[in-house]
């Protein structure tokens, strides 16, 4: 297998969306983590629902709407200044600690992002984190007006990079995205950052089921969609070794 390009999902794969919790916790003490968990679930739901209803709005609108839903659902006041500060963090998300060094180490291949994010959000995020100096392309699904895992979104890799899907390794920690890419015919490495065993153990050991563990569980273990990623890795730093083993 010749891999000429590595294409990464952004939110949750290169960028730690949980890092928003620092701000949500500051603004709503005791609710920081649960806000980010519900927000993420609804954010993804809205990408799927709007795609199916053919009522596309870009990811910044969906991110706002799902945050509004989350605050309402928790009975928290939606103050415009607070709302603005939380949203702003989405343009300054933390990179996973191993992200930049791993990308630099693979600079002999084409490196790109393919993300649900709008062009503006992504370009700002990539610049703010300094990844613009490492990536060959930052591709938003915006032009297709549907979100992942619609096959149309994954066609953007070939049309932007000029590299056929068989020579691309797509990397995502989001199970639905790994499945969508696999269904489309890409080579897929899924990053399993939290093991099922660890999550199940946390539930079994506790009398009450801990809510945060459960929220993570329902979106972080591999889905039952009849699709399997080609590779399972634990962290981005496992990629150079994986590429060597494929050569």
Which residues make up the interface to its own copies (CB under 8 A)?
31, 34, 38, 41-42, 45-46, 48-55, 57, 65-66, 68-69, 72-75, 146-147, 149-151, 176, 179-180, 183, 196-197, 199-201, 203-204, 208-211, 214-215, 217-218, 221, 223-227
- Helix or strand (DSSP H, E) at 41: helix 32-53
CB of 69 to its own copies, least distance (A): 5
Residues 112/138, Cβ–Cβ less than 8 Å = yes
What is residue 56's three-state secondary structure? coil
Q: Which of 110, 140, 137 is nearest to 122 (CA)?
A: 140
- The dihedrals phi and psi of 8, each to the nearest 5 degrees, come to -110, 140
CB of 202 to its own copies, least distance (A): 9
For 105-118, letters b (16+ CB in 10 Å) and e give ebeebbbbbbbbbb
Q: With respect to its own copies, which residue has the nearer C-beta, 101 or 200?
A: 200
CB of 205 to its own copies, least distance (A): 10
CB of 131 to its own copies, least distance (A): 28
Of 9, 58, 142, 177, the catalytic one is 9
**What is the token pair recorded at 115?**
């993300």
Q: With respect to its own copies, which residue has the nearer C-beta, 45 or 241?
A: 45
Q: With respect to its own copies, which residue has the nearer C-beta, 166 or 201?
A: 201
Q: Which of 185, 201, 187 is nearest to 2 (CA)?
A: 187
Q: With respect to its own copies, which residue has the nearer C-beta, 68 or 87?
A: 68
79 noted as active-site residue: no
Q: What is the DSSP letter of 11?
A: B
User: Where in the sequence numbering do the catalytic residues fall?
Assistant: 9
């Amino acid at each position: 297998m010749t891999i000429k390009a590595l294409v990464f999902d952004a939110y949750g794969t290169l960028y730690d969306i949980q890092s928003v919790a620092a701000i949500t916790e500051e603004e709503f003490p005791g609710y920081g983590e649960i806000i980010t968990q519900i927000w993420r679930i609804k954010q993804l739901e809205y990408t799927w629902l709007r795609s199916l209803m053919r009522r596309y709005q870009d990811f910044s609108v969906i991110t706002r709407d799902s945050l509004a839903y989350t605050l309402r659902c928790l009975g928290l006041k939606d103050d415009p200044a607070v709302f603005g500060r939380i949203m702003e963090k989405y343009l300054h998300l933390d990179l996973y600690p191993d992200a930049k060094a791993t990308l630099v180490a693979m600079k002999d291949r084409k490196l790109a992002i393919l993300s649900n994010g709008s062009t503006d959000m992504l370009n700002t995020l990539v610049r703010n984190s300094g990844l613009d100096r490492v990536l060959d392309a930052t591709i938003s699904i915006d032009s297709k007006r549907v979100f992942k895992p619609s096959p149309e979104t994954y066609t953007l890799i070939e049309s932007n990079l000029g590299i056929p899907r068989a020579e691309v390794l797509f990397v995502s920690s989001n199970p639905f995205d790994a499945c969508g890419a696999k269904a489309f015919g890409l080579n897929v490495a899924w990053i399993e950052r939290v093991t099922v065993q660890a999550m199940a153990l946390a539930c079994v050991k506790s009398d009450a089921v801990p809510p945060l563990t459960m929220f993570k569980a329902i979106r972080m273990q591999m889905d039952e969609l009849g699709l399997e990623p080609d590779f399972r890795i634990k962290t981005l730093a496992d990629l150079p070794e994986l590429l060597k083993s494929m050569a």
